[in-house]
C-alpha cells in the first residue's frame, strides 16, 4: 500500500531512531559528568531509571503522535544564566508571595524575603522525594538534572492568606539548546489551605530553550489546595512537565493548566486519591498555533471509595498545528461509589489543524459512576452568521466564539490580575495566528 514502509525501510528507520536516541542520552550523560557537585541520591536514582527507560523507541504508542526528532537531534547545554530585571510578563502586581527560579535555580534577589504560611527550603543531597505515580523518561530527566529542588511546606491547620507565586524564567543558550529543570515538592498538612501559581516565561520572544518541570504535592486530610499553571513560553521553546498529586481523605483539590506557548509542549498530571471523600477538579486549556504541538496527558487513580473527580480539557488548534490528549481514569476494585467524569472538547481553526484524543477508563469495581467523552468540531457557521448579521466583523466574531469556548475555564479564575493576564495571552495568540495567516 502506498505510503507504508517496507520491512527494510522500517528496520532502517528503527536503527536511525536508536542511534539518535543513544546520541542524545550520551550528551546528557556528558552534562552530568561536567557538574561541579555530584548527583544527590534522588537524582542518581532517577538517572539510572532514565538510562533504563531511554527515549521513545520507533513507533512507541505513547509517542506515536508527538515527534521528538528535532529535539533529540539538537546539541544540549546546561548553564544557569542571570537577568538584569524581571521580564515584562511577570505579574508584579499580584498579591502573592513570589518565588523566582532562573534556569531552574532559586534566585533570592528576585524573590520575596518572607513567604507567610509557606516554609521554603532547598533540598539537601540526601532528600528522598516521593516515588513517581506514573513515571516516564522526561520525569526522570528533570529529577536527575534539577539543580535547586525546593521543599515547600504548609503546616497542619494553617490557612495561607495569599497564594505562592512561583516564577520560572528560562534563558536561551548560544548555539546549543539550554536545558533547565525546575523541581519542587509541596507538603500540605491536614486541615490546611494553600494556593500555588506556577508561571513559566522565556527571557526573550525568539530564542529556543528546553524546560523540564516537576511539581509533586502530598495533600493532607481535609485540606484545601488550589494549583494554577501558566505555560507562557515563546514559540521556540520545548516544555516537558510532570506533576504528581497524592491526596488524602476529604481533601478538596483543584488543578488547572493554561498551556499557551511553546514549539512542543508535553504536560502530564498524575494523581492518586488515597482517602475517601476527596473532591478533585482537574482542567486544562491548550492553544497551539503555527505548527506547534501541544500534548496533554492525565492519569488518575481512584484508590478509595466515595470520591468525586471532574476533568475538563479544552483544546483550540490553529493553522497547521497539532494537539494530543490522552486521559486515563483507573478505579480500584474496592473504590465503591466512585464518581468520575472526564471531558475533552476540541475546536479546530485551520484546514490542516489536527487533534488526536484518547480518553480511557479502567474500572475494576462495581457500584461506580464514571464517564468520559470527546468532541471535535469547527466554528459553528450559524453562530458566525448570527454575529456578523448584527454588524460584528468576521475576525471579532470568530474571536468571540473562541473565547466563549474557553470561558468555562477562564471564568473560573477568581483573581482579576491572573484573569487579565490569561485573557491577554489568549487574545495575543489568536491575533498572532491571524497575522501569520495574512
Using DSSP's 3-state secondary structure scheme, residue 185 falls into strand
Which of the pair, 168 or 204, is modelled with greater confidence?
Answer: 168
- Please choose, from the candidates 239, 54, 18, the residue with its C-alpha nearest in 3D space to the C-alpha of residue 137: 54
Q: How confident is the model at residue 80 (pLDDT cuts 50, 70, 90)?
A: confident
Could you give the C-alpha distances from 23 to 26, 55, 146, 342, in angstroms and in order?
5, 10, 21, 39
Distance between CA atoms of residues 100 and 198, nearest Å: 10
Q: What is the mean pLDDT of residues 375-390?
A: 94
What region, left, alpha or beta, does residue 333 occupy, with left being phi > 0 and alpha being psi -120 to 50 degrees?
A: alpha
Contact 231, 201 (CB under 8 A): no
Q: Which of 84-88, 214-218, 294-298 has the lowest mean pLDDT?
A: 84-88
The answer to whether 228 touches 413, Cβ cutoff 8 Å, is: yes
Average pLDDT over residues 159-171: 97
In degrees rounded to 5, what are phi and psi of residue 225? -130, 130
437: confidence class by pLDDT, cuts 50, 70, 90: low
- At 175 the pLDDT is 78
State yes or no: pLDDT of 385 exceeds 60: yes
Does position 1 have pLDDT exceeding 50, yes or no? Answer: no
Question: pLDDT tens digits, residue range 397-426?
Answer: 999 999 999 999 999 999 999 999 999 999
Cell 536545558 locates to 179
pLDDT above 80 for 149: yes
- Give, for 215, the enclosing helix (H) or strand (E): strand 209-219
Per-residue pLDDT tens over the stretch 92-148: 999 999 999 999 999 999 999 999 999 999 998 767 799 999 999 999 999 999 999
Say what the pTM is.
Answer: 0.95
Q: Is it the case that residue 250 has pLDDT exceeding 60?
A: yes
Q: What is the 3-state secondary structure of 241-277?
A: EEEEEEECCCCEEEEEEEECCCCEEEEEEEEEECCCC
Contacts of 155 (CB under 8 A, 6+ apart): 117, 119, 189, 192
Examine the pLDDT at 9 and tell me if it is beyond 90: no
How are strands ordered across the β-sheet holding 193-202? Answer: 105-106, 97-102, 164-170, 193-202, 224-232, 252-259, 279-286, 308-317, 339-348, 369-378
pLDDT above 90 as % of the chain = 85
List phi, psi (to 5°) of 124.
Answer: -85, 175
By the 8 A CB rule, do 369 and 339 touch?
yes
Q: What are the extents of the domains in the chain?
A: 23-275, 380-431
pLDDT value of residue 290: 93
Pair 82, 102: CB distance under 8 Å:
yes
Rounded to whole angstroms, the Cα distance separating 285 from 272 reads 22
Average pLDDT over the chain reads 93
Q: What is the pLDDT of residues 52-79, one digit of tens each?
A: 999 998 778 899 899 999 999 999 999 8
> What pLDDT sits at residue 14?
85
Residues 182 and 111 sit within 8 Å (Cβ to Cβ): no
- Determine what percent of the chain is predicted with pLDDT higher than 70: 97
Find the angle CA(351)-CA(259)-CA(242) to the nearest 5 degrees: 120
CB 350 within 8 A of CB 321: yes
Average pLDDT over residues 289-308: 97
Tally of CB atoms within 10 A around 354: 16
Q: How far apart, in whole angstroms, are the C-alpha atoms of residue 301 and residue 335?
A: 10
Question: How many Cβ atoms from other residues are within 10 Å of residue 60's Cβ?
Answer: 11
What does residue 336 show for φ and ψ, rounded to 5 degrees?
-70, 155
Could you please report the per-residue DSSP string of 363-380?
A: E--SS-EEEEEEEEEE--
All three cell numbers of 345: 472538547
Place of cell 486530610: 221
Q: Please tell me the predicted confidence (pLDDT) of residue 156.
A: 98
Report the pLDDT averaged over residues 315-339: 97
In the predicted structure, residue 174 carries a pLDDT above the cut 80: no
DSSP 61-74: GGGTTS--HHHHTS
Amino acid at each position: 500500500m502506498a505510503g507504508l514502509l517496507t520491512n527494510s525501510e522500517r528496520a532502517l528507520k528503527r536503527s536511525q531512531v536508536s542511534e539518535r536516541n543513544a546520541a542524545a542520552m550520551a550528551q546528557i550523560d556528558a552534562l552530568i559528568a561536567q557538574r561541579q557537585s555530584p548527583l544527590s541520591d534522588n537524582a542518581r536514582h532517577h538517572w539510572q531509571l532514565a538510562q533504563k527507560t531511554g527515549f521513545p523507541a520507533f513507533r512507541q504508542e505513547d509517542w506515536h503522535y508527538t515527534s521528538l526528532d528535532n529535539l533529540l537531534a539538537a546539541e544540549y547545554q546546561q548553564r544557569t544564566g542571570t537577568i538584569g530585571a524581571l521580564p515584562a510578563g511577570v505579574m508584579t502586581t499580584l498579591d502573592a508571595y513570589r518565588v523566582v527560579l532562573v534556569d531552574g535555580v532559586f534566585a533570592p534577589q528576585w524573590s520575596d524575603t518572607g513567604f507567610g504560611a509557606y516554609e521554603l527550603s532547598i533540598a539537601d543531597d540526601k532528600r528522598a522525594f516521593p516515588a513517581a505515580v506514573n513515571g516516564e523518561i522526561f520525569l526522570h530527566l528533570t529529577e536527575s538534572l534539577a539543580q535547586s529542588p525546593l521543599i515547600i511546606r504548609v503546616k497542619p491547620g494553617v490557612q495561607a492568606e495569599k497564594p505562592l507565586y512561583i516564577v520560572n524564567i528560562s534563558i536561551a543558550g548560544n548555539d546549543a539548546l539550554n536545558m533547565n529543570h525546575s523541581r519542587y515538592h509541596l507538603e500540605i498538612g491536614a486541615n490546611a489551605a494553600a494556593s500555588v501559581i506556577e508561571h513559566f516565561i522565556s527571557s526573550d520572544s525568539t530564542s529556543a530553550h528546553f524546560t523540564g518541570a516537576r511539581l509533586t504535592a502530598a495533600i493532607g486530610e481535609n485540606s484545601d489546595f488550589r494549583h494554577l499553571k501558566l505555560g507562557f513560553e515563546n514559540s521556540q521553546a520545548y516544555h516537558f512537565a510532570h506533576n504528581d498529586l497524592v491526596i488524602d481523605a476529604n481533601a478538596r483539590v483543584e488543578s488547572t493548566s493554561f498551556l499557551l506557548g511553546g514549539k512542543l509542549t508535553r504536560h502530564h498530571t498524575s494523581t492518586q486519591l488515597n482517602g475517601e471523600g476527596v473532591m478533585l477538579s482537574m482542567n486544562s486549556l491548550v492553544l497551539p498555533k503555527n505548527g506547534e504541538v501541544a500534548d496533554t496527558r492525565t492519569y488518575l487513580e481512584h484508590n478509595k471509595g466515595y470520591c468525586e473527580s471532574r476533568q475538563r480539557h479544552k483544546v483550540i488548534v490553529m493553522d497547521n498545528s497539532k494537539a494530543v490528549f490522552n486521559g486515563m481514569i483507573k478505579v480500584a476494585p474496592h473504590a465503591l461509589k466512585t464518581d468520575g467524569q472526564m471531558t475533552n472538547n476540541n475546536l479546530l481553526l485551520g484546514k490542516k489543524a489536527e487533534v488526536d484524543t484518547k480518553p480511557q477508563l479502567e474500572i475494576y469495581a462495581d457500584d461506580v459512576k464514571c464517564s468520559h467523552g470527546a468532541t471535535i468540531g469547527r466554528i459553528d457557521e450559524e453562530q458566525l452568521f448570527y454575529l456578523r448579521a448584527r454588524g460584528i466583523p468576521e475576525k471579532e466574531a470568530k474571536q468571540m466564539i473562541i473565547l466563549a469556548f474557553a470561558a468555562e475555564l477562564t471564568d473560573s479564575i477568581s483573581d482579576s490580575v491572573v484573569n487579565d493576564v490569561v485573557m491577554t495571552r489568549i487574545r495575543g495568540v489568536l491575533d498572532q495566528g491571524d497575522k501569520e495567516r495574512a
